[in-house]
Chains A and B, each alone.
Chain A
Amino acid sequence: MRRRDFLKLVAASGAGAVVFTGCDLSQFGDGDPKREFQIQSAVDNPQDFALGRDLWYATAYSGIAGGSGLIVRVYEGRAKKVDGNPDYPLNLGRSTALEQSLVQELYHPDRIGGPLKLKGDRGSGSYSALAWDEAQNEFNSMITAGKGSTLLITPPVSGSEAAAIAQFTKAIGGEHVTFEPEERIVLREAMRRVFGSEHLPTFDLGNAQFLLNFGAEFLNDWISPVHLSIGYGAFRGGAGGKRGRYWHVGPQLSATASNADKWVYINPGTEGLVALSMAQVMTSQGLVDSGAASSIYNGISLDDYSPDKVAGKAGISADQITEMAKLFAGTKPAIAMAGTAAAAHTNGLFNLTAVYSLNYLVGSVGTKGGVMLNPDSPLPDVLPNMTVGTSYRDWKPIVDKIKSGGTKLVLVHNANPVYGLPPAVGLKDALGAGAKVVSFSNFLDETTTQADLVLPTLVTLEDWGLHVPDPGPGYQTIALQQPVVKPFVDAKSFVDLLIGAATTAGGSLPWKTNEELVRTIVGQLQQAGGGNITGVDDPKEYFVTVQGQGGWWDTSKTASAAPTAPAKPTSAAEPKFDGNGEYYLVPYPTNSLSYGEHSHLPWLQALPEPISTNVWSTWVDVNTSTAKKLGVETGDIVKLTSSAGTVEVAVYMNPSAPTDTLLVPFGQGHVIFSRYAEKRGENPFELVAAQTEAETGALAWAATKVSIKKANKKVRIPRLEGSVPAYQLEEFPIIEVEAAE
């Protein structure tokens, strides 16, 4: 801000006190001082201005399934630092790189500054700015025209946002679908089948002594990375008596697998077969109750899955299966876990149900050091649990309906399905076919650029919300999200926009704003009683207490597990792969960019992927000896071809990659998604054949085979390796290791 502008503003202020909440009028908003500057008396100044001190506010993040409680350091009206909320039960003061990066989402240079209206062709990214009055009028008229044939796409939502969406869709006669990583859909179904639970479980790792994990990226990008990492720390630290032992089973030495004491390689998609074989060993050798096993694996003849029959299919020796079974049955408490790529196969549900059922065999369900189920929301009607994602199979009729004109209005919030679904679904073409599209995104991405109207919404640190984490910590928990700073751009709360639109459409919603909705529900929580706030009668004080501690939780409200699997077991199945390529394609979400939804945040782009240490790019992990056979080395460009398409990526020689498997990280390949993500790398979904998990219909993104061909081009992959060596000298180890006692 120039000195002259400053003096003008001081002159304009009656009280003479100027509070800055924005310092560059040319960059953001429309330069309207009412919005950019807050002029008020010194008495009303926030404490950080009055005292020159920073303040920490509690809030919450729901961008990953489990979510987390946060504290945010605010100084002079700006969010400076995000950390974990020490009170909040799921993350107890700890945080991930993603949560740390929320400030970059807030102050992102390519964040949309106000409503936009499509100017050019769809997909061109050409928009003209619009005032909110006009934008809302336009939105309301679209809602009126689309009444009864509106589709709303969001990520899975819970709590206050889910309550508002339910009222909105009821008022306008619309349909709500959710977009989430397909493997989670399989996981949720497996929880229903094995544990009879509608919610994702948590794992009492801290008290466990043995963890057998079939592919779940639980330390990095799965359902609740911080909560599970805290448990992992306690597990390794000996909280359960002595240091816990961890074996990882799967086709990839992933970022999580690299922390295991032992990585047991098995062929992709054979997790369920190995689990059944372990069950066969445990029952036949009398290590567990065989009666329990027959009820759990009802209808499956375990003797058909003895180690010698499974070993060849799984690419593992029969002795290894037997050893795992004995270790699992003999080290108590033990936990069996499965997820991520294990679910992304044509037999993904079988893989997961077979593995999770092992927990029943060793008595690790609902017990100390075992799998802990999560209860329903304390107020299921007004504060719903997390909605369930829409499977690939279910997207097809949705897309067909849009294409045929059956859906007249498509609303998209915080989701980018055009990028995240394989092109074969045809969503992009369908959105261009005639339906009106409104995006509530903060960034121009592949889906937003298909929109007629863009209404930017407040980001995590600017908005209100109540979230029911899924998974929770094993007892009823609600996270309270509150604005810690004033909106940085000219955006509005998504829920406020829904409430406004529903009212226009003739609906009668019980709240006028998102804040009122949150306050109302907290009032209902107080009336319901229980929880960690006691002895507070005044509703205002109650709300402030919930605000201050970042949520509400009741450790006495747990879920009980059925003594045996209530199962409708899935039938045993072997994986099916599409294509004739020589190599298995195993795409993988990374700890920083996940499935590509965080690629616009520069700290995360610059965060080395733990295994390869690569940054800012896409590569294919090729085994060192396979690379030599192919005549390629790190940096060489290769063409990967499947039945779905071809992509060109650079080779990274990875000594841990299986010789017949090519590993490609998700995250890049955005056509448009801010200066930090667009036109960078490749999207592996372009290689993924349209195969689905047999029962849930979820996309089997790990069930494609590819061929590889040298492209006679070379690039330098940006990475940390090279700045630091890849191997240690045995004589002078950097990482010293000692044997377990």
Chain B
Amino acid sequence: MAQRWGMTIDLDLCTGCQACVVACQAENNIPINTEENFQQRRAIEWIRVERYWEGEFPNVKARYIPVPCMMCEDAPCEPVCPVYATYHTDQGLNFQVYNRCIGTRYCSVNCHWHVRFFNFWEPKWPESLKQQLNPLVAVRSRGVMEKCSFCIQRIDHAEQSAKLQGREVHDGEFTTACAQACPTRAIVFGDLNNPASEVAKTIASTKRGYQLLADLGTNPAVVYLKKIDADPLPDDSKHKYFDSSQYTRIKETVAVG
């Protein structure tokens, strides 16, 4: 059986440090996100760490969730691509062919996790910083969508090495850049179809697993492990969750941009 690459992200271990974010940028030649990129809401982060407020001082919490591409089994981004630039590999990867992409951005509109990014400009690096670019990863040009690939170059490399040695790829033989960096080991990557893999064993051994927006029925390959809260906020905490005044504020901010 072919692999189905997947990931578990234990939200009880994630500290929001974002080592994964920079590790991904270094590995995958992601352009430097300038101040203007953030102002225009066009920062490219193949994996980002979202922060959510709960409550208000003094009964308040901030929670973190790293969000890479979910690599959905039935990915909504795939059928909408008019040129088949977005396709599904036999290993369950939801993939982007850059030189096929014509930039309609339909895939981005149809992705509920907002993990597809459009290159509105030609990516630019000062000449010297180009020395750092990873030769195994294409630099995407203007007009092209890009997204997390589960570090496909590392998958390829491991598969080629295994093939040359006449064996299967071992679990843990390689991992994605984000999982490799993660100081608390919150991110685990591996083959979901291999019951002996750490990622499969993690999912099998916990009741905390859930998929983000699972109700949409896309069957993401990223499985989150619920955050554990030993000391929850009092139920009457002000604005514990959604608060309409906050929503208005956010709406206004977006409208300005």
Q: Which residues of A contact B185 (CB under 8 A)?
A: 94, 230, 233, 237
**Contacts of A607 on B, CB cut-off 8 Å?**
18, 21-22
B27 to A81, Cβ gap below 8 A?
yes
A139-147, A164-172, A195-203, A609-617: which one contacts chain B? A609-617
- A671 CB to nearest chain B CB (Å): 18
B-side contacts of A739, CB under 8 Å:
228-230, 232
Q: In the bound complex, how far is the Cα of B183 from the Cα of A68, in angstroms? A: 12
Q: Name the B residues within 8 Å of A733 (CB-CB).
A: 241
Given the complex, which residues of B lie within 8 Å of A104, measured CB to CB? Answer: 129, 132
Q: Are A734 and B228 in contact (CB under 8 A)?
A: no
Chain B, 31-59, contact with A by CB distance < 8 Å: what is the 0/1 string? 01111111101010000111111111110
CA–CA, A225 and B126, complex, Å: 30
**A64 vs chain B, min Cβ distance (A):** 13
B134 cross-chain contacts in A, Cβ below 8 A: 80-81
A27 x B60 contact (CB < 8 A) = no
Given contacts A656-B60, A716-B256, contact A96 B184 (CB under 8 A): no
Q: CA of A408 to CA of B60 in the docked complex: distance in angstroms?
A: 54
Complex interface bits, B221-240 against A, C-beta within 8 A gives 1, otherwise 0: 00010111111100000011
Q: Is the CB of A719 within 8 A of B26?
A: no
Shortest C-beta distance, A374 to chain B (Å), equals 20
A259 within 8 A of B: yes
Task: Tell me whether A655 is interfacial, beta carbon within 8 Å.
Answer: yes
B18: chain A residues at CB < 8 Å are: 97, 591-592, 607-608, 610
With contact pairs A96-B17, A610-B49, A734-B50 given, residues A107 and B128 touching in the complex (Cβ less than 8 Å) = yes
Contact A93 B242 (CB under 8 A): no
User: Which of B77-85, B92-100, B138-146, B243-251 is found at the contact surface with chain A?
Assistant: B243-251
Q: B184 and A229: CB pair below 8 A?
A: yes
Please tell me if the beta carbons of A722 and B257 are within 8 angstroms of each other in the complex.
yes
Judged by a CB distance under 8 angstroms, whether A108 is at the interface is: yes
| A727 in contact with B254 (CB, 8 Å) | no
Interface hits, A640-674 → B, CB 8 Å: 653, 655-659
- Complex CA–CA separation, A733 to B65 (angstroms): 11
* Complex interface residues of chain A between 45 and 89 (CB less than 8 A to chain B): 75-76, 78-84
Known: A97-B19, A610-B16, A655-B60. A716 touches B39 (CB 8 A): yes
- Which of chain B's residues have a CB closer than 8 A to the CB of A245? 230-231
Mark contacts of A404-445 with chain B using CB atoms, 8 A cut-off: 1 yes-contact digit, 0 otherwise.
Answer: 000000000000000000000000000000000000000000
Considering the complex, give the chain A residue whose CB is closest to the CB of B65: A735
- A723 on the B face (CB < 8 A): yes
Bound CA span A488–B61, Å: 45
Chain A residues 117 to 146 lying within 8 A of chain B, measured CB to CB, are none
Chain B residues near A24: list those with CB within 8 A: 127-128
B52-A727 in contact (CB<8A): yes
A542 located at the interface, meaning its Cβ lies under 8 Å from any Cβ of chain B in the complex: no
Does B1 have its Cβ within 8 Å of any Cβ on chain A? no
Chain A CB within 8 A of B210 CB: yes
Q: Is B131 an interface residue (CB 8 A)?
A: yes
Specify which chain A residues have a CB less than 8 angstroms from the CB of B129 in the assembled complex.
104, 107-109
User: Contact: A606 with B32, CB < 8 Å?
Assistant: yes
Tell yes or no: B101 within 8 A of A by CB.
no
Nearest chain B CB to A47 CB, angstrom units: 16
Instruction: Say which residue of B52, B58, B229, B257 sits within 8 Å of A726 (CB atoms).
Output: B52
- B257 vs chain A, min Cβ distance (A): 7
Tell me how many residues of B have a C-beta within 8 Å of chain A: 86
| Count of residues in A whose CB is under 8 Å from the partner chain | 100
Task: Decide: B184 and A232 in contact? CB cutoff 8 A.
Answer: yes
Complex CA gap A177/B180 in Å reads: 38
Task: Say if the beta carbon of A602 comes within 8 Å of chain B.
Answer: yes
* Closest partner residue, chain A, to B12 (CB atom): A236
Smallest Cβ-Cβ distance to B21: which chain A residue:
A607
For A83, give its contact among B126, B181, B213, B241 (CB under 8 Å).
Answer: B181
Complex alpha-carbon distance, A634 and B224, angstroms = 32
Docked Cα-Cα span, A729 to B52, in Å, equals 10
B17 near A97 with CB under 8 A, answer: yes
Which residue in chain B gives the minimum CB-CB distance to A247?
B231
B13 contacts chain A at the CB level, 8 A cutoff = yes
With A and B bound together, what is the CA distance between A27 and B130 in angstroms? 12
Is the C-beta of B63 less than 8 angstroms from some C-beta in chain A? yes
CB of A725 within 8 A of chain B?
Answer: yes
Cβ-defined contact, A738 with B43, below 8 A? no
Residues of A within 8 A of B65 (CB): 734-735
State the CA gap A236–B126 with chains docked (Å): 42
Verify A93–B180 contact, CB threshold 8 A.
Answer: yes
Contact for A735 among B41, B63, B132, CB less than 8 A: B63
Assembled-state Cα–Cα distance A616/B38 (Å)? 9
Q: Report the separation of the CA atoms of residues A233 and B249 in the bound assembly, to the nearest whole angstrom.
A: 36
Taking CB atoms, residues of chain B closer than 8 Å to A259 are 15-16
Distance of A656 Cα from B51 Cα, bound (Å): 13
Whether A37 sits at the interface, judged by CB under 8 Å, is no
B238 to chain A, nearest CB (A): 9
Tell me the smallest distance from the CB of A226 to a CB of chain B, in Å. Answer: 5
Decide if A720 touches B48 in the complex (CB within 8 Å).
yes
The segment from A261-269, A497-505, A527-535, A688-696 that touches chain B is A261-269
Whether the Cβ atoms of A95 and B62 lie closer than 8 Å is: no
Q: Is A220 an interface residue (CB 8 A)?
A: yes
Query: Which chain A residues border B88 with CB–CB below 8 Å?
Result: none
Known: A722-B254, A737-B226, A737-B229. A28 touches B128 (CB 8 A): yes
Interface residue? A544 (CB, 8 A): no
> Which of these, B15, B26, B128, contacts A108 with CB under 8 Å?
B128
Cβ 8 A contact of A656, one of B36, B48, B57, B213:
B57
For window 211-266 of A, CB contacts with B under 8 Å fall at 219-220, 225-226, 229-230, 232-233, 236-237, 243, 245, 247, 253, 255-256, 258-259, 261-263, 265
Chain B residues contacting A625 (CB-CB under 8 Å) are 56
What are 28 contact pairs spanning A and B, CB under 8 A? A80-B134, A94-B183, A94-B185, A103-B132, A107-B130, A108-B129, A109-B129, A111-B128, A236-B13, A243-B230, A256-B15, A263-B61, A607-B18, A607-B22, A608-B18, A617-B35, A634-B249, A657-B57, A718-B39, A721-B250, A722-B257, A725-B52, A727-B243, A729-B242, A734-B65, A735-B64, A737-B228, A737-B229
| Extra inter-chain contacts (5) besides given A107-B131, A658-B57, CB under 8 Å | A96-B19, A100-B19, A488-B128, A610-B18, A736-B210
The 7 closest A-B pairs by CB, nearest first: A233-B184, A229-B183, A109-B126, A718-B38, A740-B230, A730-B241, A262-B231
